[in-house]
Amino acid sequence: MPTVTPEQVANAYAALMSGDRNQIEQYWAEDMRWYVPGHNLLSGWKEGLDGFLGFMRQVGELSGNSFHMENLCTTTSDEYSADVTRNRGQRAGNPAKQLDITAVHVLRWRDGKVTEGRGAIMGDGTAQYDQFWSPV
Amino acid sequence: MPTVTPEQVANAYAALMSGDRNQIEQYWAEDMRWYVPGHNLLSGWKEGLDGFLGFMRQVGELSGNSFHMENLCTTTSDEYSADVTRNRGQRAGNPAKQLDITAVHVLRWRDGKVTEGRGAIMGDGTAQYDQFWSPV
Amino acid sequence: MPTVTPEQVANAYAALMSGDRNQIEQYWAEDMRWYVPGHNLLSGWKEGLDGFLGFMRQVGELSGNSFHMENLCTTTSDEYSADVTRNRGQRAGNPAKQLDITAVHVLRWRDGKVTEGRGAIMGDGTAQYDQFWSPV
Amino acid sequence: MPTVTPEQVANAYAALMSGDRNQIEQYWAEDMRWYVPGHNLLSGWKEGLDGFLGFMRQVGELSGNSFHMENLCTTTSDEYSADVTRNRGQRAGNPAKQLDITAVHVLRWRDGKVTEGRGAIMGDGTAQYDQFWSPV
């Protein structure tokens, strides 16, 4: 029987979107880390909740807060969850530069909080993601 | 309560690895399709169980049967599963060309069989995957 | 004083476009080789004039003969030439898949014939080139 | 007869390497621009001599001044030059991250000075170049 539930996953993202640090800390561990795919300027490990939130802020700034995640499905186990989301956005100041990718986030949980997240992108979306964040 | 179980996922891959068509058909639907990530010569949708098995055969040939998948975790829901695997291999005739990536496969299930699978690769593995299959 | 002239370069490409093997052999050496950039299914060394012409045929087939090169400038030395061309085309059967890149071809010459050619693509055109030839 | 000579090209790069602004201004126009290939954090147009020198400084910093260019050949016309160089380096603080690519620089000249430069990379070097500058 899974101890991680789809509801927890939904709550964790809702807390993240609220921007409220107290709410966020209920679902995301202080010592968490997050792995951004691709080889663009955002790629790589973001260490700590502060590193992760800094990454989220950068996504917001570079996309003029147009970045939008739509959940397609969520799977869970006793220690992990995987949610598939369609992510869309456009670059701030450059509406012709569009992103439309489907990603999976694999989250690791401990005591009801996310301790690690790793993203991966379907189809040819990694190339699109690299180009979206590129200065070119 | 999930109707897809980690055991089913493990059995589906074991059937696939057996190479036995009867076993395979117990877990993989005839009208299934599979989405290979990246923009290399293997990328894109493989239609039907035959298309999927043809893709698997091509992976075997190009890697001299060195391709190896190691399961790291599996998550499930009532309709989907997501398994994270570390995939390693080397190109046939070119042992210096190594692959070592961590991928997620999101499987959709219907009546105990996989009807759709989509792969996604973590970190900078998509670039590595594209280069691994390249003639260069 | 350069022994390779822009006229020779123009003549070599005109011969290539004619499709006439006798004309082609006047400018392209039998033992030539050609290096296709990127990591797509066409990438890598094409060995011999036959290998090179086979590559050109494949470009024609995959693009429904829509592939078009427009010369932007040509530079020469005593042994080499470099021509910059804007290359445009669309995938056969998929007119929405467009290519529009600017490439440089560096040719090495011996006794009035090309013995080696290497392509390189400006800006983010290599990613576009890889995606253009991808099955995705 | 070419008005741009291989000597001028060699002098322009030697001036650049000297780091002496007076020398540099003899070969590189104040209103020049430079186009960096790929889709990494350095990619795109660098506007003005200051933009170009800022880019060169960034290359120096990120590579711990290990970046080294070796000229392989230079071709010229009345208005352009193209030089092929092998570029090698390693990331500052990460000697395992190596770069070894062959690039072409197409320079446009006016009154003895470079007004525009565009880089392009041979083989699969653009992917290597993108990965070299990536934080991953």
Tell whether C77 is within 8 A of chain D (Cβ).
yes
Specify the pLDDT at position A136: 77
For residue A1, name the pLDDT band (cuts at 50, 70, 90): low
Chain C: residue nearest D39 by CA? C124
Specify the pLDDT at position D115: 98
Specify the pLDDT at position D1: 54
Quick: pLDDT tens for D1-52. Answer: 558 999 999 999 999 999 999 999 999 999 999 999 999 999 999 999 999 9
Q: Which two tokens stand for residue D85?
A: 């160089």
> Which residues in chain C have their CB less than 8 angstroms from residue D71's CB?
none
Mean pLDDT of A72-93: 97
Specify the pLDDT at position C57: 96
The 3-state secondary structure of chain D reads: CCCCCHHHHHHHHHHHHHCCHHHHHCCEEEEEEEEECCCCCCCEEEEHHHHHHHHHHHHHHHCCCCCEEEEEEEEECCCEEEEEEEEEEEECCEEEEEEEEEEEEEEEEECCEEEEEEEEEECCHHHHHHHHHCCC
Mean pLDDT of D89-95: 93
CATH architecture of D6-133: Roll (3.10)
Tell whether B42 is within 8 A of chain A (Cβ).
no
Q: What is the mean pLDDT of each run of 10 residues along chain C (136 residues)?
A: 88 96 98 97 96 96 94 97 97 92 98 98 96 88
> Which residues in chain C have their CB less than 8 angstroms from residue B131's CB?
39
Its ipTM equals 0.95
Whether residues D41 and A43 touch (CB distance < 8 A) is answered with no
For residue A2, name the pLDDT band (cuts at 50, 70, 90): low
For residue D136, name the pLDDT band (cuts at 50, 70, 90): confident
Specify the pLDDT at position B136: 77
Specify the pLDDT at position B2: 59
Burial track C95-127 (b if 16+ CB lie within 10 A, e otherwise)? eebebebbbbbbbbbeeebbbbbbbbbbbbbbb
Mean pLDDT of D114-125: 97
> Which residues in chain A have their CB less than 8 angstroms from residue D41's CB?
40-41, 134-135
> Which residues in chain C have their CB less than 8 angstroms from residue D39's CB?
124, 127
For residue A19, name the pLDDT band (cuts at 50, 70, 90): very high
CB A34 within 8 A of CB A48: no
Mean pLDDT of A90-100: 93
Q: Give me chain B's average pLDDT, please.
A: 95
Share of chain B above pLDDT 70, in %: 99
For residue B38, name the pLDDT band (cuts at 50, 70, 90): very high
Tell whether B118 is within 8 A of chain A (Cβ).
yes
For residue D43, give the nearest of C35, C118, C124 by CB distance: C124
Lowest mean pLDDT among B90-94, B108-112, C85-89: B90-94
Specify the pLDDT at position C135: 84
> Which residues in chain B have their CB less than 8 angstroms from residue A2's CB?
2, 75-76
Question: Between chain A and chain D, how many beta carbons pairs sit less than 8 Å apart?
Answer: 38
Q: Where are the domains of chain D?
A: 6-133
Specify the pLDDT at position B87: 97
Tell whether B135 is within 8 A of chain C (Cβ).
yes
CA pair distance C105, D84, nearest whole angstrom:
11
Quick: pLDDT tens for D43-82. Answer: 999 999 999 999 999 999 999 999 999 999 999 999 999 9
Tell whether D75 is within 8 A of chain C (Cβ).
yes
- Location of structure tokens 């900078």: B124
CB C106 within 8 A of CB C117: yes
